[in-house]
């Protein structure tokens, strides 16, 4: 491995040591298309009419990602093997790989709990019932409607809270049932719930990526879920109810992609910065 690649790899691990911290809740929404603004207004109106003022206030804090301009003509969006189109390579052992491996072990335990609940176990925890309800309602939909349902259900069902406030540690990756039990989490907790819920809803593992990105606008590391739909990667973000194509999330630079195969890192993005 060349010296430049080693330096880039080290930079990736340092940048991803902490995630989600310092994200601004006062984001400028200039440049949002009329269609997106209309959807945002409709959702906000629904929350006000139903009296869910706390959810409305949380919704106001969601920072909508601003899509880039739509090109006219017959040009088609290119299909990428990875979200954001960057080349990825297996990550060296480090903090992110260790957290992902630890999470897999705890997810296996939860799989047994969910299986028991599906079998009619009367002692099924409330968090498991809630998770299975999200999945069951999601299965009644398909395609983009399914993705939108899961994104909305999780975003509105979990309130933002740092790991320091909830667990007393700097960075803890909670399982879906842990997050739904407390009803709170930070960005990777939202993304993990969506990852498992969509997997349980029938989305192929190869079409799911938990992404750790660098938000170059807010200068923070962030976690989102990327889902491949109709040969295009869509971003499911706890900051917004609107799903955008990965190439339109122009403030996000990919650092890591995590899925059933393990952890991969995007050296090119770090080297460019």
What was the pLDDT predicted at 85?
80
What was the pLDDT predicted at 268?
57
* Tokens 């890591």, located at residue: 256
Could you tell me the residue ranges of all domains in the chain? 3-27+82-272
Q: Kindly state the tokens that stand for 179.
A: 């997050």
CATH class of 3-27+82-272: alpha beta
How many other C-beta atoms can be found within 10 angstroms of the C-beta atom of residue 82?
18
Residue 85 buriedness (CB in 10 A; 0-12 / 13-18 / 19+): middle
What was the pLDDT predicted at 190?
98
How confident is the prediction along the chain (273 residues), in pLDDT tens digits per residue?
Answer: 554 444 444 444 444 445 675 443 333 323 334 443 344 444 444 443 344 444 434 433 333 333 333 334 444 444 568 898 878 889 888 999 999 999 999 999 999 999 999 999 989 999 999 999 999 999 999 999 999 999 999 999 999 999 999 999 999 999 999 999 999 999 999 999 999 999 999 999 999 999 999 999 999 999 999 999 999 999 999 999 999 999 999 999 999 999 999 999 987 544 454
- φ, ψ of residue 102 in degrees (nearest 5): -65, -40
> Max Cα separation, the chain?
59
- φ, ψ of residue 265 in degrees (nearest 5): -120, 150
Distance CA 255, CA 273 (A): 11
């Amino acid at each position: 491995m060349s010296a430049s690649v080693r330096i880039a790899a080290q930079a990736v691990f340092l940048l991803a040591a902490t995630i989600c911290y310092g994200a601004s809740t006062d984001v400028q929404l200039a440049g949002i298309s009329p269609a997106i603004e209309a959807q945002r207004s409709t959702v906000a109106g629904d929350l006000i009419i139903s009296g869910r003022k706390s959810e409305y206030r949380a919704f106001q804090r969601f920072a909508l990602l601003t899509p880039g301009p739509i090109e006219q003509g017959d040009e088609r969006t290119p299909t990428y093997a990875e979200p954001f189109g960057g080349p990825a390579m297996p990550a060296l052992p480090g903090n992110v790989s260790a957290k992902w491996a630890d999470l897999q072990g705890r997810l296996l335990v939860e799989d047994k709990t969910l299986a028991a609940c599906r079998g009619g176990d009367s002692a099924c925890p409330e968090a498991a019932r809630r998770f299975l309800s999200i999945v069951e309602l999601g299965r009644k939909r398909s395609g983009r409607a399914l993705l939108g349902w899961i994104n909305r259900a999780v975003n509105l069902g979990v309130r933002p809270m740092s790991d320091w406030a909830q667990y007393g540690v700097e960075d803890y990756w909670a399982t879906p049932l842990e997050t739904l039990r407390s009803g709170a989490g930070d960005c990777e907790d939202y993304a993990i719930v969506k990852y498992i819920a969509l997997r349980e809803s029938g989305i192929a593992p190869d079409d799911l990526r938990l992404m750790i990105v660098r938000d170059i606008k807010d200068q923070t590391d962030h976690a989102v879920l990327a889902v491949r739909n109709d040969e295009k990667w869509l971003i499911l973000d706890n900051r917004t109810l609107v799903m955008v194509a990965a190439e339109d999330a122009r403030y996000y630079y990919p650092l890591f992609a995590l899925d059933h195969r393990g952890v991969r890192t995007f050296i090119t993005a770090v080297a460019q910065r």
